[in-house]
């Protein structure tokens, strides 16, 4: 399995589409920083907001789609996954290797993202307050956390159907549509007291990070760990069940 992971990482890191998409995410982040600083009072707080929006929303979604397509799409589109199984790799090995690859690539991209933020901070000459530095660090963590979760939730669809387009659409739903729609469920009589937006993956991440910022670090960390185990663990279990029953001629 180590050779499978190493070979896949080398292949992914050489993909031009991954880096083109990542550069696009960086440009979105820079544009948002410029927008916040030009349209509002030039302050470290607005600089922080520009970075958080760039890494967490549009830029984060671009990174997530890039990671998903690089890790999963090519192998399913070209049916390379069939030949990988034919070379003696078990389906469980493939699932674990793909998950590890998605984590490694996500960490690499967000490490570069964090470096870009540091460079921009020096270039612009912004003096960040301690709370703002913490918020930026948590923003990078949130990007990693959300990307790993959403990419592997969307992977359920590609393992089940082999359809790249539908899987990518599901990823967009996780990033944009579901977080936008869930708050409106509070107007429905049946679920208005449940506040469903607090229990989806993104809402639990926000809840955990908020607790950390407010000083309730243990509670925040436990929320993050438990939600990751529930959502990502359940996704991997479903993937195993679905992929294990999948015929090789997909």
Domain assignment present for residue 94? The answer is yes
Domain assignment present for residue 250? The answer is no
Domain assignment present for residue 39? The answer is yes
Closest by Cα among 18, 236, 237, 201 to 106: 18
Q: What torsion do the CA atoms of 51, 15, 87, 154 make, to the nearest 10 degrees?
A: 40
* 92-95 contacts at long range (C-beta below 8 A, 24 or more positions apart): 92/240, 93/1, 93/4, 94/4, 94/243, 95/159, 95/236, 95/239, 95/240, 95/243
Please, how many CA atoms are within 13 Å of residue 32, restricted to the half-sphere of its CB?
Answer: 22
Domain assignment present for residue 37? The answer is yes
pLDDT(185) > 60:
yes
Section 237-246 average pLDDT: 86
pTM of the model: 0.88
Domain assignment present for residue 119? The answer is yes
pLDDT in tens, 118-145: 888 888 877 888 888 888 888 899 999 9
pLDDT in tens, 188-218: 666 666 666 677 898 899 889 999 988 899 9
Domain that holds residue 29: 2-244
Q: Is-contact 75 12, C-beta < 8 A?
A: no
Given pLDDT bands bounded at 50, 70 and 90, which one contains residue 250? very low
The sign one gets for the Cα dihedral 96, 99, 105, 110 is negative
C-alpha pair distances (Å), 26 with each of 31, 130, 147: 9, 24, 16
Q: Is-contact 158 167, C-beta < 8 A?
A: yes
Domain assignment present for residue 148? The answer is yes
pLDDT(101) > 70:
yes
Domain assignment present for residue 44? The answer is yes
Section 94-107 average pLDDT: 92
Tokens 């243990």, residue located: 218
Q: Is-contact 236 99, C-beta < 8 A?
A: yes
**pLDDT: which is higher, 91 or 63:** 63
pLDDT attached to residue 231 = 94
Count Cβ atoms below 10 Å from residue 20 Cβ, excluding itself: 10
Q: Is-contact 50 103, C-beta < 8 A?
A: no
Domain assignment present for residue 249? The answer is no
Number of domains forming the structure of the chain: 1
């Amino acid at each position: 399995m180590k050779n499978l992971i190493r070979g896949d990482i080398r292949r992914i890191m050489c993909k031009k589409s991954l880096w083109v998409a990542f550069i696009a995410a960086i440009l979105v982040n820079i544009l948002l920083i410029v927008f916040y600083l030009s349209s509002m009072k030039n302050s470290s707080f607005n600089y922080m907001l520009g970075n958080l929006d760039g890494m967490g929303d549009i830029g984060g979604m671009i990174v997530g789609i890039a990671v998903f397509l690089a890790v999963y799409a090519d192998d399913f589109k070209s049916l390379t996954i069939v030949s990988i199984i034919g070379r003696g790799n078990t389906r469980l090995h493939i699932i674990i290797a793909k998950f590890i690859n998605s984590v490694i690539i996500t960490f690499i991209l967000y490490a570069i993202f964090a470096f870009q933020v540091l460079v921009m901070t020096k270039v612009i000459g912004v003096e960040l307050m301690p709370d703002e530095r913490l918020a930026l660090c948590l923003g990078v963590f949130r990007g990693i956390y959300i990307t790993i979760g959403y990419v592997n939730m969307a992977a359920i669809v590609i393992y089940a159907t082999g359809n790249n387009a539908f899987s990518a659409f599901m990823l967009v739903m996780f990033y944009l549509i579901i977080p936008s729609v869930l708050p409106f469920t509070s107007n429905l009589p049946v679920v208005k007291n449940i506040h469903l937006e607090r229990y989806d993956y993104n809402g639990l991440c926000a809840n955990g990070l908020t607790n950390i910022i407010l000083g309730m670090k243990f509670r925040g960390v436990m929320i993050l760990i438990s939600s990751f185990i529930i959502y990502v663990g359940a996704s991997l279990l479903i993937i195993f069940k679905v992929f294990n029953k999948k015929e090789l001629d997909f």
